[in-house]
Structure 1
């Protein structure tokens, strides 16, 4: 596709916008947004100087480094780390061995529960001073039994945001290139925990040879050897070290009183540190119980998780069963319920929802599970199960709770995500129509944000969990919940444009709405999903979705939905290179919207017609359309789209024989200010480009270059196509 702009979606029956941007070539019109397709790390141009300071990526650390703290994401080392002296020495040797131009890559492999993470974390904390520019950690979930591994693009987004980069590319290759740019010249340590494959790891490796990457995995990962990785296999603790670890956890005095029992417990734990820690926590909770009695309890045979056997007959299964049996009835119930959550880490809010508890009681529950080492505390109000313990909790739920009880637990958790995302959407798009919501439980606490910026940040941070919730809802047959979660995420689609996720979510949501027999929801999924398809450059498929939405709107007599579908068809045809057809659809949508009194929709159709008029070289017609659109959008109020209309007015007033450059510059400057207040980065970039075009045509090449560079800085992380266009404009200035 030669031309594909950044798309700003126009509202659908549920609320937000479908893509709208201009595609004319530079010499065909005063429109500043002709597009081209490119792939490659355009923003890596280290020689660029001026207002955007891209040279800071390479020479002075990441952008905005002065405003962002150095990331310190490593989890704390275990308090009772024991032995492993030879392993620590081996890791030091691996880090120092060999050469190479990239960051050293050390892979720690071993069985489940053997202590890979504890070893890696302890080792990195010993050498933390060698990596002053940041320490990063992520659990890649490569060995989780109930979900997919975390994809590299999600990790890169988290890492880049940790370095202050808040405008991210949509594609993995672009994100990896930006990550290498940001880390070039830095000394950072990266711990990639629970990796599944080399493909999951390689995009996450920083560029600097002064950095270090440590990977833990149950797999051997031979594919990393091709890239210079050095491997260390971690075995179970030797018997003496197992006894020492258990004694340190129990306390020297108690261990000394029953040395034989301690040795027996250590033997039954089979050298697995996880088993030792859980056993010690259970023993500590029963200070008057003899260790001999505990040995007898551990020795009783029973069902075991096959994956928890480390080549021994008795291992973690027996320990976990014993720890679970020692829980109070209400805590055991909470343990089972939390094991059913669709996410790997969580806060007290979703715990309260899943367990149907008040917030205070939910916090007490998770604290009790943390105390007995069945739950890990990651930070303030953030917890996670070890994946093996989570599996045990889910198995206990399957064994002890009915299917109906388990389904209700999951539904309450899904409702927490649905309710919270819906609250976020209400803050970000208060003027949009809201579709039905079906809850079995509405949370009692306030949402974890209190501003539009906070709401968008929450949607961004929880995007993978929200998608997991959609998949879980479908798996349990909660189709209404599935499409409602997709609908609630709409500000994420519009503001941050995760193209692949946008399309995937709406394919799932559309199928769920169809199964649920909800015509209004089907039309919503078709129109908002059509926006996602446009954003992904799939214009013909988008037109099919909008066409189906139009047919459904006609069948149901829903004139508003018909107008949304018509407008979407206009945009699919506009971006597909068929402006005459697009204009016809926009005019049809405008007439229908005026007839039903849909003021905001009519204003948006005028805005799109104004863009087409600019493309066609008719600035006077564009001014009339855009002036009316701006006034109506301000009255709604809709400040975001009103600012977009003002920006196009600035383009129109700089075009043709009646051009008014002073008015144009004021309008563009005011639009930029309004869009900055809305957090609309893509449109800030477009307005800066428009200002650059004005300056270039006046012969003010210095100002044009400055505007283009500022625009490129905003476009680079979010739109390779537009970044390429800005690069071409800058090269054109240099040639002139």
Structure 2
């Protein structure tokens, strides 16, 4: 009412200030008052870090995350530091953020120095982001947890929790509304969280294709294609670790004239590799591994240092136990600690492998020279013993010591074990040479002879034999020199390196004659005979082998004599003098099975050669007996290539015996085996 004052006894209805929303004006109010109107609008928080511009090679992980969306309330992205867990999580959550109308929250759960962030601090930040006034955020962890659950109880919320260190740290940060999701990145197993239903997606180093794609994203696909070889080398030297690849790419881009080949050259020296790939603390490969190492238990640190001295890639628990002088059970637990820290993988039961750059880091951990030398000696000692045991099983007729118990293994099992470690044999022998353990090298080479003879790994054989030759020359061991030159010539010949093979034989003959050692001279003639055989000079081969045989017969070497008879029989089988071939082969087999420890492998070779000769003469029934007997023995000894030859001979035998089904089966088996571990390389 205009001009009218308040009535007598009434309240003052004046209003001052600014009102947002509805205003009720009344003189006196009796009873309850209900106000209706819209609450102030609040934008849901969106705290995701900026995803990387280039995400490559993560199709498997993204597919697994898509399949888990809506099925679980927590996903653990587990992998080593620097592998790109956070980048993957941020990229994926950005793509699916529309599923979370309540907002997307993010927190780093570990300080840059490696200390865990208190959960109550994270909850305080989350509550303020969700609209709780700062002065209304409770003080205690329990109260903040309860309020966070209430604040996230209505609409689905996503939380990205980076670098979690424990399940307890994560559990209080899980939003409450149905359809909510926590994505947790970590290098820890978080077993308590997984036991509560969280799914795990493993995030490992990038495969070559993905790593090249990532490098191309930073440098340009055309540039990577133009320097494909150098790019592949950079990828390999970075171990497929995204942080390392990103640093490498940034260093290349920093100067216009830098090429990918320039970076590959800088990374080749393992001693400097981590320094090259380490810039600021937030982009330092070395700092990433330093933090992981710092958090290991003391026992696991000791094993990690051992693995840094070990030059190979595969580490059985028994090897590490020998080097740290602890029970195998304790060392197995320490190795599991390395797996849990995402520094190593258990590639097979009891066999472990450090990640590529982790091995470089382990080798750089400060270790006193005396301790490093002690570890190296222990590693080489273990390999020497293990290789000798395996070699004795492969060719027991060559065994020097007492036979192992029957339960110790079988030839095929020993061959498979040696096949597993053959990539590490060269590095271990180089470690032995570096520490002056020449006799260890010679002994291991001698033990490996049967392995290389049976499995035909000529490339690795050349590496081992050349290292052994260096050890033999350093120690003046004539017998070792002659033996390894003969084997080296054989391997070179099988690889088609005729000039190298002949060079070794000539050096062997000269050395043997210079020392006047009749045993060495006999071996030299044998080496010449085998070389001539491989060159197709049959008459010259027979002449040299006969000279060697005559000399060996005066030296009380029954096994050496038997093997020469076998080689002569095989050579003569390719001539018109098959009667002489059969005579030599029969004599060889008789002598080989009559040894104190029968040489069943070479006796089977004699059966195979004789079976082929008799089949060629039309003696089908006798040939079948010999070939089947050879196949059984060669298969039992894991002699893949010779077993393939026996199958192919039996395919011919079955054809002549009018058994087409057996012929097809043997032909197929032979072809399959020739593609297996015993093929020539």
The question of a shared fold, defined as TM-score above 0.5 by the shorter chain, is answered with yes
Return the offset for 1:591: 0.8
Separation (CA, whole Å) in 1 of partners of 2:327 and 2:572: 57
User: 1:512 corresponds to which residue?
Assistant: 471
8 Å Cα contact 1:483-1:512 kept in structure 2: yes
8 Å Cα contact 1:470-1:486 kept in structure 2: no
- TM-superposition CA deviations, 1:23-61 (whole Å, max 9, x none): xxxxxxxxxxxxxxxxxxxxxxxxxxxxxxxxxxxxxxx
Return the offset for 1:582: 0.3
- TM-superposition CA deviations, 1:646-700 (whole Å, max 9, x none): 23323333455xx543323322233223323323232233233334445667888
1:385-424 counterparts in 2 under 5 A?
A: 385-397=354-366, 401-424=367-390
8 Å Cα contact 2:344-2:355 kept in structure 1: yes
The correspondence for 2:391, drawn from 425, 428, 439, is 425
Return the offset for 1:413: 1.6
Separation (CA, whole Å) in 2 of partners of 1:356 and 1:647: 48
State TM-score, norm by structure 2: 0.58
- TM-superposition CA deviations, 1:81-117 (whole Å, max 9, x none): x9899789x98xxxxxxxxxxxxxxx43xxxxxxxxx
- Structure 1 121/345 Cα, relative in aligned 2: closer, same or farther at 3 Å? farther
- Structure 1 575/271 Cα, relative in aligned 2: closer, same or farther at 3 Å? same
Return the offset for 1:327: 5.9
- Structure 1 674/660 Cα, relative in aligned 2: closer, same or farther at 3 Å? same
User: 1:166 corresponds to which residue?
Assistant: none
Return the offset for 1:352: 1.1
The correspondence for 2:586, drawn from 627, 630, 642, is 627
Return the offset for 1:233: 12
- Structure 1 241/563 Cα, relative in aligned 2: closer, same or farther at 3 Å? farther
Q: What SS does structure 2 have at the residue aligned with 1:577?
A: coil
- Structure 1 670/85 Cα, relative in aligned 2: closer, same or farther at 3 Å? farther
- TM-superposition CA deviations, 1:385-424 (whole Å, max 9, x none): 4444444443332xxx322221221221222222211111
8 Å Cα contact 2:315-2:352 kept in structure 1: yes
Return the offset for 1:242: 6.5
Return the offset for 1:554: 3.9
| Count of residue correspondences | 475
The correspondence for 1:380, drawn from 342, 346, 349, is 349
Separation (CA, whole Å) in 1 of partners of 2:105 and 2:326: 41
Which protein has the larger Cα radius of gyration, Structure 1 or Structure 2? 2
The correspondence for 2:496, drawn from 520, 530, 537, is 537
Separation (CA, whole Å) in 1 of partners of 2:124 and 2:636: 69
Separation (CA, whole Å) in 1 of partners of 2:116 and 2:371: 44
Return the offset for 1:321: 4.8
8 Å Cα contact 1:237-1:272 kept in structure 2: no
The correspondence for 2:570, drawn from 581, 592, 611, is 611
User: 1:150 corresponds to which residue?
Assistant: none
User: 2:324 corresponds to which residue?
Assistant: 355
Separation (CA, whole Å) in 1 of partners of 2:542 and 2:391: 31
Return the offset for 1:376: 5.0
Q: What SS does structure 1 have at the residue aligned with 2:352?
A: strand
Separation (CA, whole Å) in 1 of partners of 2:447 and 2:67: 41
Return the offset for 1:528: 1.9
8 Å Cα contact 1:509-1:525 kept in structure 2: yes
Is residue 597 of structure 1 aligned with residue 566 of structure 2?
A: no
Return the offset for 1:355: 1.6
1:450-465 counterparts in 2 under 5 A?
A: 450-465=409-424
- Structure 1 697/515 Cα, relative in aligned 2: closer, same or farther at 3 Å? same
The correspondence for 2:458, drawn from 499, 503, 513, is 499
- Structure 1 511/271 Cα, relative in aligned 2: closer, same or farther at 3 Å? farther
Separation (CA, whole Å) in 2 of partners of 1:581 and 1:649: 22
8 Å Cα contact 1:341-1:354 kept in structure 2: no
8 Å Cα contact 1:619-1:655 kept in structure 2: no
- Structure 1 450/709 Cα, relative in aligned 2: closer, same or farther at 3 Å? closer
Is residue 553 of structure 1 aligned with residue 512 of structure 2?
A: yes
Is residue 645 of structure 1 aligned with residue 606 of structure 2?
A: yes
Return the offset for 1:430: 1.7
Return the offset for 1:624: 1.9
- Structure 1 517/255 Cα, relative in aligned 2: closer, same or farther at 3 Å? farther
The correspondence for 2:480, drawn from 502, 521, 526, is 521
- TM-superposition CA deviations, 1:287-343 (whole Å, max 9, x none): xxxxxxxxxxxxxxxxx9645646546866557556655666665444433332223
Separation (CA, whole Å) in 1 of partners of 2:337 and 2:654: 65
Q: What SS does structure 2 have at the residue aligned with 1:597?
A: coil
User: 2:311 corresponds to which residue?
Assistant: 342
- TM-superposition CA deviations, 1:123-162 (whole Å, max 9, x none): 4655899xxxxxxxxxxxxxxxxxxxxxxxxxxxxxxxxx
Separation (CA, whole Å) in 1 of partners of 2:619 and 2:189: 79
Separation (CA, whole Å) in 2 of partners of 1:698 and 1:375: 56
- Structure 1 588/83 Cα, relative in aligned 2: closer, same or farther at 3 Å? farther
8 Å Cα contact 2:110-2:163 kept in structure 1: no
User: 1:243 corresponds to which residue?
Assistant: 107
1:691-702 counterparts in 2 under 5 A?
A: 691-693=650-652
Return the offset for 1:585: 0.8
Bigger relative contact order (CA 8 A; separation at least 6): 1
- Structure 1 672/325 Cα, relative in aligned 2: closer, same or farther at 3 Å? closer
8 Å Cα contact 1:682-1:715 kept in structure 2: yes
Separation (CA, whole Å) in 1 of partners of 2:473 and 2:456: 25
8 Å Cα contact 2:526-2:544 kept in structure 1: yes
Q: What SS does structure 2 have at the residue aligned with 1:617?
A: coil
Q: What SS does structure 2 have at the residue aligned with 1:431?
A: helix
Separation (CA, whole Å) in 1 of partners of 2:648 and 2:567: 19
User: 1:687 corresponds to which residue?
Assistant: 646
8 Å Cα contact 1:692-1:706 kept in structure 2: yes
Return the offset for 1:606: 1.8
Separation (CA, whole Å) in 1 of partners of 2:105 and 2:313: 31
8 Å Cα contact 1:531-1:542 kept in structure 2: yes
User: 1:734 corresponds to which residue?
Assistant: none
User: 2:544 corresponds to which residue?
Assistant: 585
Gaps of 5+ in 2: 1-46, 69-78, 94-103, 127-160, 166-183, 191-272
Return the offset for 1:580: 1.0
8 Å Cα contact 2:426-2:463 kept in structure 1: no
Separation (CA, whole Å) in 2 of partners of 1:448 and 1:121: 43
Return the offset for 1:365: 3.4
Return the offset for 1:504: 2.4
1:279-318 counterparts in 2 under 5 A?
A: 306=275, 309=278, 311-312=280-281
Is residue 574 of structure 1 aligned with residue 533 of structure 2?
A: yes
- TM-superposition CA deviations, 1:247-290 (whole Å, max 9, x none): 9xx9999512576899xxxxxxx988999847999xxxxxxxxx
Return the offset for 1:574: 1.0
1:52-131 counterparts in 2 under 5 A?
A: 107-108=56-57, 122-123=61-62, 125=64
Return the offset for 1:237: 6.2
Is residue 675 of structure 1 aligned with residue 675 of structure 2?
A: no
- Structure 1 629/345 Cα, relative in aligned 2: closer, same or farther at 3 Å? closer
